[in-house]
Homo-oligomer: A and B are copies of this chain.
Amino acid sequence: MSRTGVWLVGARGGVSTTVIAGLAAIQQGRKDRVGLLTETSLFENCDLPPLDDLIIGGHEVREGSLLDSARAICADSGSLGHELIAEIATTLEQVDSRIRPGILFNAGKAILSLEGIRSDCVEQDPAQAVARIEQDLREFRTENDLSGVVVVNLSSTEAALPPHPSHGCAEELLQQLAQGTTEPFRSSTLYAIAAAQVGASFVNFTPSPAALLPATCQLLEEQGCPFAGSDGKTGETLVKSALAPMFFQRALKVLSWQGYNMLGDRDGEILSCSENRQTKIESKGELIKKILGEDVHSQVSIDYVPSLGDNKTAWDLIHFEGFLGHRMTMQFTWQGCDAVLAAPLVLDLCRLMEWARQRGDAGLQQHCGLFFKSPHQSEIYDLSSQFQALTDYLQSCRQQADPSGSP
């Protein structure tokens, strides 16, 4: 038997808890597959690792249990129901036993001042921190007899990391690591390095820019690790990536695109800190100009509205010009539960990463752009083209697998 390990960084956060709960429900027999692209006919005849063979572990820097997290979600957005939680309570405890204290390195005030942060997670020496992560990943692999491991960064959005000369080169970055320099690293950098060192795939599901530096990407590729990022595309930006191309395809001139995002919970709390918010805004903001050009007046704002919890609400105004200079408007409101939208993407990505690893596809998984707000190293931001890229990739994989098959 060959199972795939999913190592969630931020393992008791909202998205992780929903990933864990959803997978548990499916493994215990739940039938519906809404939200999981890898379970649609698109992936027919692709032998992705089955959902039943995924096993989850992870790191967490806060106190608490998965059951606590699940119950908090039930009270907040209601996306995890009472009955569901009762049914999977045992599984939650089992996964909890595979969650270890995470690492916090150069983490910034917003994160360190979250309620319930464990002081034993704070690391001062980067090499030591990486060693601890590596050890946890290796034990996870051995104890569970895993064929492959995928590390998914689901931790809180970090503030930007100031550029450092070592960021451009794996060797230099490892030297800095060995020397114990602090500046070139944030927690997410260390996770990417550790993943590379143990041969795990790596997914940066957050916008944290310190994860996929040129140097860490080089390292992952050299170690044969598939990777993808950054920042799961789940809500307002998803809609933008579907809608902005429409204006282009009609030769309409967008004058202004204003996007207002509101959210509560820990996510919102972190983003109420201006440094961390800036990271997120930059990740969300580039799409419009990439699709519609630099002339568009485009603003993105994010506000912390505690009462909303994880029910993220966004309102966008699009002011555009048509034939003969006439001005018109469109607006939309998106009311989505972020964890519910993100969780299936995490499962999809883990299966795609492990599938790539099994097929020898190391390095950046270009065809995964549709899952991200800021697709790494890509100029393709519109959703349909991203979807097409995935479809093309699957087609070519199927042809490799069965060259005689009909196209």
Contact = CB atoms under 8 A, between A and B. Distances in A.
Interface in A154-180: none
A328 B314 CA distance: 13
Contacts of A321: 34
A331 B328 contact: no
Given A297-B306, A305-B256, A334 B324 contact: no
Interface in A311-326: 313, 315, 317, 319, 321-326
Contacts of A77: 326
A37 B326 contact: no
A335 B340 contact: no
Given A245-B242, A299-B303, A35 B322 contact: yes
A72 interface: no
Nearest to A38: B251
A69 B162 CA distance: 48
A262 interface: yes
Contacts of A297: 305-307
Contacts of A301: 260, 301, 303
Interface string A21-64: 11001000010111111011000000000000000000000000
A384 interface: yes
A207 interface: no
Contacts of A270: none
Nearest to A387: B249
B249 A79 contact: no
Nearest to A332: B332
Contacts of A383: 245-246, 249
A324 B305 contact: no
Contact of A324 (B79, B262, B325, B336): B79
A142 B381 CA distance: 50
B305 A322 contact: no
B330 A35 contact: no
Contacts of A79: 324, 326
B37 A251 contact: yes
Interface in A6-32: 18, 21-22, 25, 30, 32
A317 B251 contact: no
Contacts of A78: 78, 326
A109 interface: no
A35 B251 contact: yes
B340 A324 contact: yes
A253 interface: yes
A3 B370 CA distance: 46
Contacts of A129: none
